[in-house]
Amino acid sequence: MTGKKVIVHDGNVEKALRKFKKKVQDSGILQEVRLRQEYVKPTVKRKLAKNLAKRRWKKFLSDQQLPKKLF
């Protein structure tokens, strides 16, 4: 991974901190660290992925249906 750095102009630390946080968030470093904090077995990963796919599919199907009549 490459280092993230931000230059502080005119002593404006708050603005530089916001930019730094944005760069870190866009790079996905924190998300990767959270994922690596504990080991997840492959079967659990597959199960979670399958459940997420089911939820996406159900949402897709519900978006395709016409709304119920309200009278």
Residue indicated by tokens 């404006």: 12
Annotate 42-52 with b (16+ C-beta within 10 A) or e (fewer). Answer: eeeeeeeeeee
8 CB-near residues (< 8 Å, 6+ apart): 16
Structurally, the chain folds into a number of domains equal to 1
Residue 52 forms part of a structural domain = yes
Q: Which of 43, 42, 1, 51 is nearest to 24 (CA)?
A: 1
Residue 6 forms part of a structural domain = no
Domain of 59, in residue numbers = 13-64
pTM beyond 0.85, yes or no: no
Q: pLDDT digits over 3-62, tens only?
A: 788 889 888 999 999 999 999 999 988 889 988 999 999 999 999 999 999 999 999 999
